[in-house]
Amino acid sequence: MKSDVKPSVCVVGLGYIGLPTAAIVARSGCKVHGVDVSSHVVDTINRGEIHIEEVDLDGLVQGVVSRGLLKASTEVAPSDVFVIAVPTPFDANHAPDISYVLAAGEAVAKGLKSGDTVILESTSPVGTTEQLRDLIAHLRPDLKCPGLTSETPDLSIAYCPERVLPGKILEELTNNDRSIGGITPRCARKALTFYKLFVRGTCVVTDSRSAEMTKLVENAYRDVNIAFANELSIVADQMGLDVWEVIRLANRHPRVNILTPGPGVGGHCIAVDPWFIVHGAPEHTPLIRTARGVNDGKIHHVIQHAEALIEANPQAQVACLGLAFKANIDDFRESPARLVAVTLARKYGARIKVVEPYAAELPKEFAGTQAELIDIDTALEQTQLLIVLVDHDQFKAVPLAERLRHVVYDTRGIWLDQPKGDQRGAGKLQLAS
């Protein structure tokens, strides 16, 4: 790949990471071919539109599509660089499922030629990049693969995980540092040349297994720290303390920075990736496993408290505020708020209203519950009990006078200006007068 010649790029998987990546790469001047199994996604992108919610992504996609730099299809096209950004879920036993990665690798293998670069971005268990390499070597014995030949390999294969915050994906794809792990140092250098086309952050080269572990460690670290905050909220509830006040005071220590508790942990990263480490070393990961248990258990703690409030107010109509796994996005994957809301809807039926500004309709699991999707103004007018599950900016803007007209269960601590004695924290049950 000559530095003065922009490579053609094929991005496999056009979801929350793949589409922004494809658009950013296209903005750098590369011709990008996006691939997705969904014809709806393909058609939407080819119209210059988007199927996900992300700040400034709509304008970027419209621009690169109109300039002919990005097009989408359901089939892989010959390219110089292939970027795989497909899901890596886990099964019922928390074992990682890399079948989507291997299926993408199989599709990519068909179109490979000598000199191509294959980069896996999907969050993956340690060793997945090598498995991808082995699959390609099996399917394309005519191509020499890195690490399996004593000669100069025909392909470069590397791993480079994303490191982004939903709502700031475009900014962080460009400015955040990247860890680029090659099957060999030569592979890492080849991938580095590609990422320097559009990444302003520092690109650090390493081996593929270290890069894979780095991604898992980053999210496990955050999960453990969130678990500490969530466990504190449960302890504070038991002791009759205001957890928000305790954390605020503790964080005045110069070396203490306790995170914000909430209804649990969601998303396809923090709620999933720690299990990949546990699966790889089950006898040596008691802390990571326990943190996962604490954060999953916090969801049920919130459900119990919400049910207690609803039972104590049998005539009240209830509004669950938020379904997304975090604020100001439309991503509901592994969302604790979604589980809390649907559990209450199945138990209390039509009494439950849901406010989610990033949803046009309720997810399919709400079918038959009689729960209704409404806006925040309708909720303030028609309901008497508010359960805050997501800290969307829209909810933060609700005036104090409106909140004082309701019984409030704030699991996110966004309304800390509630007068003392009113319900404020994730672990307290005092009711507003």
State which H helix or E strand residue 129 sits in.
helix 128-139
CA distance 293 to 275: 11
Calculate ∠ Cα 93-343-363, nearest 5°: 85
What residue has token string 């509004």? 319
Among the listed residues 30, 187, 203, 269, the single catalytic one is: 269
For residue 31, indicate whether it is catalytic. Answer: no
Q: Which of 161, 270, 282, 269 is nearest to 224 (CA)?
A: 270
Q: Tokens representing 276?
A: 């990949």
DSSP 392-428: -HHHHTS-HHHHTTSEEEESS---TTSPTTS--STT-
Calculate ∠ Cα 412-417-423, nearest 5°: 60
The answer to whether the beta carbons of residues 247 and 260 sit under 8 Å apart is yes
Q: Which of 244, 266, 416, 406 is nearest to 340 (CA)?
A: 266
Q: Tokens representing 154?
A: 């025909």
The answer to whether the beta carbons of residues 333 and 268 sit under 8 Å apart is yes
State which H helix or E strand residue 286 sits in.
helix 286-312
Among the listed residues 190, 215, 326, 428, the single catalytic one is: 215
The answer to whether the beta carbons of residues 57 and 16 sit under 8 Å apart is no
Phi, psi of 137 (to 5 degrees): -65, -35
For residue 215, indicate whether it is catalytic. Answer: yes
Tell me 227's DSSP state.
Answer: H
Tell me 118's DSSP state.
Answer: E
CA distance 224 to 245: 21
Residues involved in catalysis? 215, 269
